[in-house]
Amino acid sequence: MNKTLKSSAIALTLTMASMIANANDTMSFVSWGGSTQEAQQEAWAIPFSAISNIKVIQDGPTDYGKLKAMVESGNVQWDLVDVEADFAYRAAAEGLLEPLDFSIIDTTDIDPRFVSDYGIGSFYFSFVLAYNKNSLSSEPSSWEALFDLDTYPGKRALYKWPSPGVLEMALIADGVEPENLYPLDLDRAFAKLDTIKDNIIWWGGGAQSQQLLASGEASMGMFWNGRIFSLQEDGLPVGVNWKENLVMSDFLVIPKGAKNKDAAMKFLAYSTSAQGQADFASLTAYSPINKKSEELIDSGLNAYLPTSYTSDQVSLDYQYWAKNGQEISARWNTWLLK
């Protein structure tokens, strides 16, 4: 009796000690802040910590300059970082990332568009044509409408940074077939944008884009679908057209020399799992990259998810941008300041 008690006490102590040891495992997760990161915390970090006993510390916002500085100085504070897909490819080429361990991360159900050796999609979203219903008398039905200032008056809100999206949109509006987009015909894209240049208001972040559209400052523009979803949830008079929505994605990457690499791999595995992706999608209306997630998502959300508009999708070529981004940005700045 006494012996049993004693051994169970030892067992208990041992279990507790190992639990404490596990609970001391921490890793940092870095994303863009705002509602996206909150959703990532709720859908991924909290359940993951509960299962694995690894504490996830949230940090941010993502800053490519900081990431590079950390890797180069050998003092890497970040373990898992949410970055844009084209950056993931570029950073991999520049040797800033850890190769992923596919014995921990299961990619069988993940859409191959979002898998690479150094990063896996954290979610995907679409650039969509959205408009303020109060500012327009008729509803625009394609990207061409964005360039038709007579029928659809008002300012256009476009994404400010030279990254995949705006140039492709201009080319499609100019009649280029989606499969012939790459390599980008920059002259043609900028010439098309020239026709509305004076009517463009540039947005640099999600909140700013929402403000522009909701206030009617811009009558239409190109937006991240999740931001439009949250405007619609708030009951604002905002419409979306999904024709030729442009697919862009964020990737999760592990900076080279990350101190908690193994924990980060496990967290990456959880966040790209069917459940993790489904939970995140339910909170944000960004699409899961895991094909098994769809059945776990409430069907009411379908109307807002890019996954429901796959036949209308145009995939942006991240690898093309990773290679040519620098050159395009120089042209982009020159054009903007002209």
**Taking a C-beta distance cutoff of 8 angstroms, is the pair 31, 123 a contact?**
no
Instruction: Find the length of the chain.
Output: 338
Handedness of CA 51, 56, 62, 66 (dihedral sign): negative
Cis peptide before 61 (omega within 30 of 0): yes
Alpha carbons 27 and 58: distance in angstroms, whole number: 9
Minimum separation from the CB atom of position 289 to another protein (A)? 24
Cβ proximity to another protein, 183 vs 204, nearer residue: 204
The span of 111-119, 120-128, 153-161, 266-274 binding another protein (CB under 8 A) equals 153-161
Minimum separation from the CB atom of position 73 to another protein (A)? 10
Handedness of CA 211, 150, 333, 128 (dihedral sign): positive
Cβ proximity to another protein, 52 vs 77, nearer residue: 77
Binders in 90-129 for another protein, by CB under 8 A: 90, 94
Please report whether residue 315 would count as binding another protein according to CB under 8 A.
Answer: no
Minimum separation from the CB atom of position 160 to another protein (A)? 6
Size of the site for another protein (CB under 8 A): 28
Of the candidate residues 63, 109, 111, 144, the single one contacting another protein (CB under 8 A) = 63
Please report whether residue 323 would count as binding another protein according to CB under 8 A.
Answer: no
| Cα 126 to Cα 155, 223, 294, 296, distances in angstroms | 21, 8, 17, 21
Alpha carbons 293 and 63: distance in angstroms, whole number: 29
Please report whether residue 22 would count as binding another protein according to CB under 8 A.
Answer: no
Please report whether residue 199 would count as binding another protein according to CB under 8 A.
Answer: no
Give strand pairing partners of 29.
Answer: 58, 80
Please report whether residue 75 would count as binding another protein according to CB under 8 A.
Answer: no
Of the candidate residues 7, 141, 142, 326, the single one contacting another protein (CB under 8 A) = 326
Minimum separation from the CB atom of position 132 to another protein (A)? 10
Of the candidate residues 3, 51, 65, 299, the single one contacting another protein (CB under 8 A) = 65
Please report whether residue 215 would count as binding another protein according to CB under 8 A.
Answer: yes
Sequence-ordered alpha helix ranges (H) in the chain: 2-23, 34-40, 46-52, 64-73, 85-93, 143-146, 166-173, 186-194, 206-214, 225-233, 261-271, 274-284, 318-337
The span of 41-49, 167-175, 177-185, 208-216 binding another protein (CB under 8 A) equals 208-216
Please report whether residue 161 would count as binding another protein according to CB under 8 A.
Answer: yes
**Taking a C-beta distance cutoff of 8 angstroms, is the pair 31, 84 a contact?**
no
Alpha carbons 337 and 120: distance in angstroms, whole number: 35
Contact residues: another protein, CB under 8 A:
63-65, 68, 90, 94, 155, 160-163, 201-202, 204, 208, 211, 215-217, 325-326, 329-330, 333-334, 336-338
